[in-house]
Structure 1
Amino acid sequence: MAGSTQSNEESGRIDLTRSATREWIAGTTFAIPYLVTALLFLFGPLAIALYMSVHDWNALAPAQSQFVGLENYRTLVGDPDFWTALRNTVYFVVLTVPPIIVGSLLLALGVNRDVRGKWLLRTIFFSPYVLTVAVVGLLWTEIFNASGLVAYYIGGGNWLTSYDLAMPAIAIATVWWQLAFNFIILLAARQNVSDRLYEAAKLDGASTWRMMRDITIPQMRNPLVFVVIVTFVGSFQVFGQPYIMTDGGPSSSTTTVVLYLYETAFTSRQFGYAAAVGYVLFMILIAISATNYYFLAGDRR
């Protein structure tokens, strides 16, 4: 009897091992396409860019590129144009990130309420996101020019040629365009919050603000963290809007880091230096993402 029990235990362990092996093989098989794609289009380019950043890169004859070590990074530290571009980018982030996050959250909470025509509101709020950056840029260029709607109703002439108004104009266009993506994410998150929590809170006499603070925000924490990080990263990488609407002007007031990188690489042909700029931006984004996650994720870290 004891021998039979031992045999059954050994057979069970063998079955578990085989099952685990099959799961590992299946998981690995499904992961291989992603790993190959990531290697070719993510980690590979990152490694190549790092290699380029320590060379005076010759795009026409890479073999003739000269190794310069950290010279490109030292040049970057003393480059006033880079710091101007970084300052413009931070200004753009300040103008866009809070309105996009707060606005998309308010829209999601508002549409989630029991109002007539919710499907139409969802369609209207999401529709800008289906447009390409080229369409958005050209559309808002017409709105902000001297004969456009903004100048007609508010004044100020052509905002895109004003040193002080050009960046706010680009920010307004971006907020209008990017609200939609976060709106859909947060709407889905709000719909996953159980209504029983709100019913119990109402029985306890909780106010709307208290339910928002103690139920809605905590229950939506993970999607909110995702939205905040993605919005910060996207705003720091802004390129298409200033490129199309102002081409970095007037007087470099809307030149962002990515636009400066583009001009350095494809106008000045300083590919090694442009790669260094890209890596500095990459490290800034990692630091910002880690900081946001640390302070927003809370005890779920």
Structure 2
Amino acid sequence: MLTGYLFITPAVAGSVVFVLVPLVLVLWYSLHEWNVLADTFDFVGADNYRALAADPNLPSVLRATALFSFGLVVLNLTLALLLAVLLNQKLRGTTVFRVLFFSPVVVSLLAWTIVWGFLLQDNGGVNSLLHGPNWLRSGGTAMTAVIVVQVFKNVGLNMVLFLAALQGVPHELYEAARTDGASAWTVFRRITLPLISPTILLTSIITVVGSLQVFAQISVLTQGGPGTSTTVLVYYLYQQAFQFHAFGYGSTLSVLLFLIVLALTLLQWQMRKRWVFHES
């Protein structure tokens, strides 16, 4: 018994120190007005939450967050699944393409974002071919550009997860379906998708949570602009806490972010019974 507790102690201690304690502290800070410059820490109760409800910038911030998350999740999962299906075929050169698509995952996020920042400038590499707008300084294209940069960065991870799931599907099922005259689309819809649905659930949760935590890409590429068109919740939290030194209000935004992530994760977990194989 003691040996078992000793084995789990490091994991439990890490969860308490780095997860539970910070959550409690953020909740405590959200009930205070903390001015680092003036060295004051005053209890204000629910004032920060009232300010949150009345914040005129919050609707646009939440709208930008929802747009970024939706675009990223849909494009990432769709492209990752498509690439996995293609690379699962017995064709020459698939190993090389697997490496090419996965390599951005291991590249430094900051380096990746800086390079794309140069490529998407008005006179950057992309416009030398397309002669398009200033992608990062136009309200109609800035969010799209940020989403595409993030999709290309992480699509390889979901692709590998989907590829592993596809290779675990029994070939006997495919052979039986072809013998019965099922079309390729019917086989994919009736056999492949149900059997890889647990992996789809996993990648969906990971991608949704990751999309709500995006910061470096926004900070480097657009700084939340033009206007507030790309100011997502995490970047707005950073502005309030570390640029305007409103740490109490920034903590309140952190609580809001935590509740949104928790709600979406629980929603996906509850909905799994309707579409994930073996969960009904």
Match of 1:37 in 2: 14
**Unpaired segments of 5 or more residues in structure 1?**
1-23
Structure 1, residues 164-192: CA drift from partner, whole Å, max 9, x if none?
11111111101111101111111111111
| Number of aligned positions between the proteins | 277
Q: Indicate the structure (1 or 2) with the bigger Cα radius of gyration.
A: 1
Paired letter, 2:84 = A
Instruction: Provide the C-alpha distance between the structure 1 equivalents of 2:123 and 2:3, rounded to a whole number of angstroms.
Output: 61
Instruction: Provide the C-alpha distance between the structure 1 equivalents of 2:14 and 2:235, rounded to a whole number of angstroms.
Output: 27
Q: Is the 8 A contact 1:225 1:297 kept in 2?
A: no
Deviation at 1:58, TM superposition (A): 4.0
Match of 1:14 in 2: none
Paired letter, 1:300 = E
Match of 1:300 in 2: 279
Match of 2:33 in 1: 56
**Unpaired segments of 5 or more residues in structure 2?**
none
Match of 1:186 in 2: 162
What is the TM-score with the length of structure 2 in the denominator? 0.94
Structure 1, residues 266-298: CA drift from partner, whole Å, max 9, x if none?
111111110110111110111111112222343
Match of 2:238 in 1: 262
Deviation at 1:60, TM superposition (A): 6.8
Paired letter, 2:22 = P
Match of 2:192 in 1: 216
Instruction: Provide the C-alpha distance between the structure 2 equivalents of 1:69 and 1:198, rounded to a whole number of angstroms.
Output: 61
Paired letter, 1:290 = L
Correspondence 1:135 to 2:111: yes
Deviation at 1:26, TM superposition (A): 4.0
What is the TM-score with the length of structure 1 in the denominator? 0.87
Deviation at 1:112, TM superposition (A): 1.0
Paired letter, 2:15 = A
Structure 1, residues 192-243: CA drift from partner, whole Å, max 9, x if none?
1111111121112221111111211111111110101111111111111110
The share of aligned pairs that are identical, in percent, is: 36
Give the secondary structure class of the aligned counterpart of 1:65: strand
Q: CA RMSD in A?
A: 1.7
Q: Residues 46 and 138 of structure 1: is their aligned pair in 2 closer, same or farther, counting only changes over 3 Å? A: same
Q: Residues 162 and 60 of structure 1: is their aligned pair in 2 closer, same or farther, counting only changes over 3 Å? A: closer
Instruction: Give the alignment partner of residue 287 of structure 1, picking from 263, 267, 273.
Output: 263
Give the secondary structure class of the aligned counterpart of 2:92: coil
Deviation at 1:61, TM superposition (A): 8.4
Instruction: Provide the C-alpha distance between the structure 2 equivalents of 1:212 and 1:26, rounded to a whole number of angstroms.
Output: 48
Judging by fraction of residues, say which structure has more helix.
1
With 74-83 and 271-280 compared, the bigger mean Cα shift is at 74-83
